[in-house]
Amino acid sequence: MSDNFEPKILGILCNWCSYAGADLAGTSRLKYPANIRIVKVMCSGRVEPTLILKAFQEGADGVLISGCHPGDCHYVDGNIKTLRRTPLVARLLTQIGIEPERFKQVWVSASEGEKFGKIVEQMVEDIKKVGPYQKKMGDQLDVVMHEVAASAKEAAAAEEKGGSNCGS
């Protein structure tokens, strides 16, 4: 591992709390590592595993998901769905060989600019310890992504043909 490895982290932040929290870090002129690239969603509940897999596929070394604290969600309980989804995503990632350091799900409120900076700092430090992602994993992810997409299409196609409904 080269000494000057700077991990690339994708941050997916909810509009109401965490994006505003990251903005506050800015207005407070707090400095944190430039390794994170932030993408906004309306609610952390919007984050589906595909987005996370896509990030790794595109060369991210880590993914950070952040939403409002439980109880403070702008959409009442969208973040609770995030909370339920997180362990499943984490397990999926471990199964395909992505180290736990590379995926983090946190709560950052609109007033926690300092906390946001610290989280990024810590994550950069943790990922530096495990090294760059792509080099280790090769194209395994592309296979998974492909499978995810294919199975979705298959399901839709099967539905189209059979017309039967598993829910009814």
Partner 1 sequence: MSDHKIGVYVCHCGSNINGVVNCAKVTEEIGKIGEVVVAKDYKYMCSDPGQEMIKNDIKEKGLDRVVIAACSPRMHEPTFRRALEGAGLNGYLLEMANIREHVSWVTKDKEEATKKALSLVKGAVKRVKLHEPIEEREVPVTNTTLVLGGGISGIQAALQVAEAGHKVYLIEQKQYIGGNMAKFDKTFPTLDCAACILTPKMVDVGQSPNIELYTSSEVIKVDGYVGNFTVTVREKPRYINHDKCTGCGDCASACIMKNRIPHEFDEGLSKRSAAYIPFPQAVPLKAVIDDGNCLFLTRKKCTLACVKACGAKAINFNQHETIHEFKVGSIILATGFDLFDAKRAPQYGYGRYANVINGLQFERMTNASGPTSGHITLADGTEPKSVAVIHCVGSRDENYNKYCSRVCCMSSVKFAHLVKDHCDAEVYEFYIDMRTFGKGYEEFYNRVQEEGVHFVRGKGAEVAQIDGRLVVIAEDTLLGQYREIPVDMVILNTALEPRVDAEKVAQTLGISRSGDGFFMESHIKLDPVTTTTDGIYLAGCCQSPKDIPDSVAQGSAAAAQSLAIIATGKVKISPISASIDSEQCAGCRICIGLCTYRAIKLNEETLRAEINEAVCKGCGTCAAGCPSGAIRVSHFNDDQLLAQIEGVLA
* DSSP codes of every residue in the chain: --TT----EEEEEETTTHHHHHHHHHHTT----TTEEEEEES-GGG--HHHHHHHHHTT-SEEEEEEPPTT-BTTBSHHHHHHHHHHHHHHHHHHTT--GGGEEEEE--TT-HHHHHHHHHHHHHHHHHH--SHHHHTTHHHHHHHHHHHHHHHHHHHHHHH---TT-
CB of 19 to partner 1, least distance (A): 7
Closest CB to partner 1 among residues 85, 140: 85
Tell me if 118 contacts partner 1 by CB under 8 A: no
Options 5, 26, 147, 150; binder of partner 1; rule CB under 8 A: 26
CB of 88 to partner 1, least distance (A): 11
From the list 92-100, 123-131, 135-143, 149-157, the region that binds partner 1 by CB under 8 A is 149-157
Number of residues counted as binding partner 1 (CB under 8 A): 57
CB of 94 to partner 1, least distance (A): 20
**What is the rounded CA–CA span in Å between residue 132 and residue 105?**
20
Q: Footprint of partner 1 on this chain (CB under 8 A)?
A: 8, 10, 16-17, 19-20, 22-23, 25-27, 29-32, 34, 37-43, 45-48, 50-51, 54-55, 58-60, 71-72, 74-78, 81, 85, 109-112, 117, 152, 155-156, 159-160, 165-168
